[in-house]
Structures are given as C-alpha cells and as structure tokens.
Amino acid sequence: MSKQKFTKSVTAVAALGAVAALGAAGGVLSSKNLAASSVGTPSVAALESRSLPGSFSEIIERVGPAVVSIRVTGSAPQSAAGADEIPEPFKRFFSEEFGKRFGYRFGTPDRQQRRAPRVQGMGSGFFVDADGHIVTNNHVVGNADKIEVMLKGGDTFEAELVGRDPKTDLALLRVKADGNIPDEKFPYVAFGDSDASKIGDWVIAMGSPFGLGQTATTGIVSARGRDIGAGPYDDFLQIDAPINKGNSGGPTFNVRGEVIGVNTAILSPTGVSAGIGFAVPSNMAKNVIAQLIKNGSVSRGWLGVNIQTVTPDLAAGLGMAKPEGALVSAVNDGSPAARAGLRSGDVIVAVNGERIETLRELPRYIANLAAGQDAKMTVFRGGSERTLAVTIGAMPRADKVAAAAPSKTDAPRFGMKLAALDDAARARFGLGRDDAGVVVTAVDPDGIAAEKGVRPGDVIRRISGQNVSSPADVARILEKALAGGKNDQRKALLVLVNRKGNDLYVALPLRDA
C-alpha cells in the first residue's frame, strides 16, 4: 500500500477530534464536526459566485478519493450471471473474454461456475471519517457473507457491517482492523445541509454504475420532499444527474463538495437512468449514521397512535377551517399518547410549535425526537386548538410508531343499510359486549357511501362524537344535523368506522344527504 495515495487526498490532523466531537454532540453528525480535515470542505468562493461552473473537475478530484465501490458476495451456490442480466444497451461491450474474466458467461454456465461464490450485489459508498466508516445503502449490503470496498486507486479492503437502518435504507460499514490498513488515515467527506439545497441547484453524483469503476455525473436538484413509498420516512431529494445500477449508496455532492444526499433509487421503465433519481437527504442521513457509529442501531421516538389524512370532507366534519395535520383514529393503550390525554378524533396540527401540514410530516418529526424528551403537542379538538404535554417514548420493536391507518379516508355518503350488532357479530368484529356500534349490511353501488369508500361489514361506532347502538340512533343524529341550528355550522358528519379491527374516520357530507 503506497502512502502517497492517501497523503495527497487527506490531512489526518483532527481526524480523531472529529469523532470525539461527534460523541460530545450527543450523536448528531454534522458538517461542523467533520469539516476541519475532510476532503469535502474546499475553498470554493469562486465557484459559489458562478451560476454556471466552467468545470467540476476540481471538486471531483478533491472528493473522489473518499468514494468507494462495494462488492458483496454470498456463499450459496448459484450460477454466474448470464448475458440476459446485462442491460441491453451494454451487451455490445461484453466479449466472451470479458465474460471469462468477470463472471459473465454467454450460454449455460459450467459446473465450476455453478459452484463458485455468487456476486449478490454491487454498489457504492463513501468514507465519513478518517477511521474507515463508510456509508452505503442497506439494500446494497443485504445479508452478505463478505463485503469488500475498493478505493479509487484500486486498493481493496474487507469491511464489516456496523449497523443498518432499513426504514431509511442506510447502512454503515467499517474497514476491518486486520485488513492491511495504511498508516495514513482514510480520506473522507463531510455532510452538508440538505435543507439549504434548492430546486435548480447543481449536484454531482458519484459511484460505480454497472461495476465500471468510479464515475461522476452532474445535474440539478429536480424536486424535494418526494414520497416514493420506499419507507415510512420518505423525504427524498429528486435529482436528474444520471445514476444507475451500482450507484446505490454513493454520494450526491453540492458545489462545495459536501454530501447532501445518498443515492438510493431511480424511476425508470428500462432499469437504466431516465433522469429521475432519488437520494436520502443528508439531514436525515447524518442523524441515522451518527447513531449507527455510536450504538450500532437507530432509536426513534414513539407516540403510539394511528393517524390518517385530513381530507376536505373530514375537515368540514371536524369544523376545521382547512384540511391540515394528522387525524388520530386510534390511541394505543398505555402509550405516550394515551398518558398525555390524546383522544381518537383529535387532529395533531403542531409539535413544539412547528405546524404539521400533512400526515407524512408527523411520523418523521416524532421519529427524530429522543425517547424521554418532553414535547408540546397542539391538537384540534371540539372546534378549537389546545396544547398537551407529552413525553416521547422509545419505539417498540414492533415498530408501532405513528403510522397511517390502512384505510380509505374518502368520506362516506348516505345510501347504506344498517343493522344492530348481536353477540356473534361483536365477536366477529373484535368488539366487546359494551362496545357501541351498528354494522353496515349493504351499500348502494350508485350512492355516495359506495363512492366515498364505505363497505359492507364496516361497523359505525360513533357519529359526531356520539355513540350509536342501533340504526335508530344513526337516523336521529342525522335528522338533527339536517335540521341544522344556530350553533351547528358543520358541512359534514364525522363518523368513526371500525373496519377489520382498525378504527378510521370518514365524513358524511350533509349537502348530499
């Protein structure tokens, strides 16, 4: 191992101090902690003043040594990759000789190939400190038997898994201590502030697409806050810098050479870049990585509620001026929410003074709070807002974090038949003998109830906060609401429905009754 490869790319001074600062900061990995000696913190005042950089070569040359290729292998016997696994545009680059050297065989693999260890995956990553910690994607690592990282200069080291966080698809590796580590510290890059990135800002994506070796591509931030259904905390940066298979886990840099994202996914009908890529924002990643470095695992705050989207119809039924926040459809017994006095039907509109505009903001906010931390929660209840004090709990292993109730939230319409619950029906729906409710036995397919999502078998438990035990109760509440009154400005009735054991709210629009 040549020392020159490292001495040109990193200054080891304060490397251990950066790690110490990380611990002193209570596990929050920030650009301040990792900036002093990192290769990703250049003097680029001139670049910042340009709207269109003449070249990205200076930045790429500086941060490139910290970006690695990752090869993951398993021991299970399996045939080598066939030609069909190579993307169509690249097949013309692969000769028979190339296949022999790199594990691709055009045709049926022979017995020797079937017995060889298989390549489970390839990806990218980057050093975040001088002691060999590497950030990548969880899906790159998988359940590997062996992980190897290759530096830009070609030197290869075996790495071990420190910890993983499937919910954000992040993982942390570290070069093994017995892996011929050089005397000089590893080059590394610093996390920047992803919240400061704007749509239209230049970005540089780096990694090893298709195992070709280190590659840099450029583009812009195309969008922010993307939810692609990958996990409960989706908040991706969307970029148009081309990323492909093998780029997963690699960094996205801003023009200051700071990591503002971890490349994770692409949207493509062909499997190759279509100009739509997604990166985990650095402000989410740095907290996860700091916990993995310190503890090897990630701890998140827990509230203990089921929530659902506040639709315009539900907002009308609740008496809200506009749809916002997250509607609590159920509160778990013994949870922090229950101890704080949250109720089914409350709408959480703010936490610690920060407004919750949409449902998906709440799980991310709560998850970022520490267990034992006190928080002020603003809820809309009974026509007005009030503040409750809640002590955040630690998320149970069952992952019962604030999560969206699995249901449609479109408000139901009239056009349904109801029946009282007998003991058999209560048992079937998991209700106790004292639980109120009426069961929906039929729904008019052309009625508003069907249009809004009410189904036969749903159990209506409460309407406008009043328990119902018979169809007559429903008719009485409906008649009163239709008659109106000086103090009743509601445009819809709020209905609590139990569907297969899950409580959810729907709204009956009075204008259609």
User: Which residue in the list 248, 273, 329, 335 is annotated as catalytic?
Assistant: 248
Residue type at position 287: N
User: Which residue in the list 38, 139, 313, 503 is annotated as catalytic?
Assistant: 139
**Among candidate residues 287, 382, 376, the one with its CA nearest the CA of residue 340:** 376
User: Which residue in the list 129, 131, 165, 169 is annotated as catalytic?
Assistant: 169
Alpha helices by DSSP H, 245-371: 282-295, 312-318, 336-340, 361-367
CA distances from 4 to 7, 251, 458 (A): 5, 24, 71
Residues with Cβ within 8 Å of 120's Cβ and at least 6 positions away in sequence, in order, are 72, 73, 74, 142, 144
How many Cβ atoms from other residues are within 10 Å of residue 45's Cβ? 8
Tell me the sheet residues that pair with 374.
391
CA gap 244, 282 in Å, rounded: 20
Alpha helices by DSSP H, 296-440: 312-318, 336-340, 361-367, 423-428
CA distances from 187 to 3, 9, 40, 69, 128 (A): 12, 6, 9, 14, 8
Q: Which runs of E-coded beta strand occur in 343-415?
A: 347-351, 354-355, 374-381, 384-391, 393-394, 403-404
CA gap 145, 176 in Å, rounded: 14
CA distances from 408 to 449, 487, 504 (A): 12, 30, 8
Q: Verify whether residue 169 is a known catalytic residue.
A: yes
3-state secondary structure (DSSP) of residue 339: helix
**Among candidate residues 505, 501, 504, 422, the one with its CA nearest the CA of residue 469:** 422
Residues that are catalytic: 139, 169, 248
